[in-house]
Amino acid sequence: MCGIAGIFHAETPKPVDPRRIERMCDAMAHRGPDGAGVWTEQGVGLGHRRLSIIDLEGSPQPMLSADGRAVIAFNGEIYNFRELRRELEGQGAKFRTSGDTEVILTAWQRWGVDCLDKLHGMFAFALYDLDKRQLLLARDRFGVKPLFMTRLADGGLAFSSELKGLLAHPQMRRRVNPQAVDAYLTWGYVPDSHSILSGVEKLQAGHFLLLEQGRPVPAQRRWWDISFADRTKGSEADLSAELVHLMREAVQSRMISDVPLGAFLSGGVDSSSVVALMSEASSEPVRTCSIGFDVAELDETDYASQIAEKFKTNHESRTVASDDFGAIDQISAMFDEPFADASALPTWRVCQLAREKVTVALSGDGADEAFAGYRRQVFHHNEERVRSLLPAGLRQSLFGTLGRFWPKADWAPRPLRAKATLLALAESGEEGYARGLSVAGFDQREALYDPGFVRNLSGFRAEDELVSLMRSAPARSGLDRAQYADLTFWLPGDILTKVDRTSMAVSLEAREPLLDHRLVEFASRLPEGMRVKGTTGKHLLKKCMERYLPDEILYRPKQGFVTPIAQWLRGPLSGEARMIASSSTLSGLGWFKPNAIKRLCDDHISGRSDNSRILWQLLMLDRSLKHLNVSG
């Protein structure tokens, strides 16, 4: 796992100063503390920071091919590199190293862009072909590894694993993108279709960019997509057996490492399944780690301990105080862009714990998106049945009216908090899902915005992107479209961003076996009844793991990392909440109405309503913009 950076002059090749590449890489030293390298040629420069995982001494980067005609800076892991190496050797290729980096170089020289289809793993890389004068920038199927890009004032294209790498370049502009602000307040993160800074874009998951000297910079091209258009036939027993086989292969391929390896263990279905299959494949006890909380209703360590005992793992657990909010500044600096998923705090803590013992940790991320494990997916699946029974006009009249007048009732038990469900049922399935996924709805955001900021948005509404994505999805049902949105929009923007930044901040490589693309493709073809059964998601996944895990683990309510931000913002962080309205950063940019923010704070602190999520978003936005030192 590493950090990469570079500069490419497409239309007019110019010399690249290697010191600029060095500064860009040094800004990401945490991603690769074990080594650094820079390579430059007329019009192009590549840089690399290395975290050594495989072939510890033999694969320095940037790496030149054996014939000296291609060079690569690579971040990630290719899990099937040994199989690809054997295939290439069978075609006459010779190798000088034993790692995966040289395999990518040779695969490019043999197959060109088609080599991407053969790579199984997580990656973002820059590969320059000296004969063709082409630069290939590529990102893995799900966007596990990031890549930021920007056009420089001198016409060059700069790219980097993190935004802070671009910010180290002296020509980097720091002007905020208004649409990214609206998207951030909608979702709690800046999706991959945007960047918080104008002029910066992210290479999309499953996309590549092929640049050539003497030609303008082209548009990104998709090389892989997930499809829900087909259905697999078979009995539950047969499909369950096939799923276990795929999971075994995915886990075992991600256990290849020349450094200590372990796993995150929360005690939930996904991480417990990974640990079970790791234990089955290992002759030594698996190293596991978990984070607990000093508030009983937030703590899952008993479940984690139960799994650790069952599989005799070498387990480490640590308790984090529920008032662990002192790391807010570190978190905002870690992410560069504003990021309001409060579970980033405990995720960072568990990464710190893991790094004390291992350099690589397997996680259970991706299963909820692939197998319909989120409550919102199950609710959407059942809401779609209601939509199919009632005409749109009747739904809009009946549920829309009820929803508008139904009290928000944050204080009430969950069954009585029906406002969001009623409003969602009045809308199309796509609009309803966007409403359920959003943190702050359009009306709430508009009430906060200054009229001048609304004009800057030029009619942009963040929800429309998700609605359009779902409507064009290769899918057959509402559940398909919801999962497609989660896999292509939510997963790379929120979950994978969170894990990448928090793990890389402590120089830890996190691997996601349940995001093996063959496993996800299998899941996308499952009949809906194999994914959702009644009010329970991940049906087949849980069924196939019954031979490994107790029902207490498989069928207990989903919890996840919970951070008590509502209590924080009414207690020890109430002062911080009140300061948001008068923040020199936010008020200086003139985007928001200070009185509207003040009302949110007053209503939350008094207990009249729960505005914690939008207040947390505003707090993290304020901190991030201070770190970025931006202008409006």
Of the CATH numbers 3.40.50.1000, 3.60.20.10, 3.40.50.1240, 3.40.140.10, which one belongs to the domain with range 2-187+195-222?
Answer: 3.60.20.10
Q: What pLDDT, on the 0 to 100 scale, is given for residue 630?
A: 82
Q: So where are the chain's domains?
A: 2-187+195-222, 236-372+482-554, 564-632
Residue 541: pLDDT over 90? yes
Helices (H), ranges, 486-593: 496-504, 517-524, 528-531, 539-544, 551-554, 565-570, 574-580, 584-589
Residues 6+ apart with CB under 8 A from 61: 2, 35, 37, 48, 50, 72, 73, 74, 101
SS3 track for 416-467: HCCHHHHHHHCCCHHHHHHHHHCCCCHHHHHHHECHHHHHHHCCCCHHHHHH
> Tens digits of per-residue pLDDT, 446-461?
999 999 999 999 999 9
What is the per-residue pLDDT for 632? 63
Pair 276, 545: CB distance under 8 Å: yes
The predicted structure's pLDDT at residue 298: 65
User: Which has more confidence, 416 or 302?
Assistant: 302
Mean pLDDT within 580-600: 88
Dump pLDDT digits (tens) for 406-457. 776 554 444 455 777 777 777 788 999 999 899 999 999 999 999 999 999 9
Give whole-number Cα distances, 77 to 56, 82, 118, 223, 489, in Å.
Answer: 13, 12, 13, 18, 23
Coil, strand or helix at 610: coil
**Which is catalytic among the residues 2, 351, 544, 601?**
2
| Arithmetic mean of pLDDT over the chain | 91
- How far apart are alpha carbons 404 and 424 in whole angstroms? 11
Q: What percent of the chain has pLDDT over 70?
A: 94
Q: CA Rg, the chain, in Å?
A: 24
Three state DSSP letters for 44-98: EEEEEEECCCCCCCCCCCCEECCCCCEEEEEEEEECCHHHHHHHHHHCCCCCCCC
Q: Note if 289 is an active site residue.
A: no
Residues for the chain: how many in total?
Answer: 632
pTM of the model: 0.94
In 3D space, the residue among 613, 189, 186 whose CA is nearest the CA of residue 438 turns out to be 186
| For range 92-109, the mean pLDDT | 94
Class of domain 236-372+482-554: alpha beta
Q: Which of 544, 501, 232 is nearest to 367 (CA)?
A: 544
Q: DSSP secondary structure string, 275-327?
A: HHHHHHH-SSPPEEEEEEESSGGG--HHHHHHHHHHTT-EEEEEEE-TT--TT
Q: Is 192 helix (H, G, I), strand (E, B) or coil?
A: coil
Which pLDDT value is given to residue 571? 87
Query: Is 50 exceeded by the pLDDT of residue 314?
Result: yes
Residue type, 424: A
Q: Do the domains at 2-187+195-222 and 236-372+482-554 have one common CATH topology?
A: no
User: How far apart, in whole angstroms, are the C-alpha atoms of residue 447 and residue 600?
Assistant: 11
Q: What is the pLDDT of residues 109-130, one digit of tens each?
A: 999 999 999 999 999 999 999 9
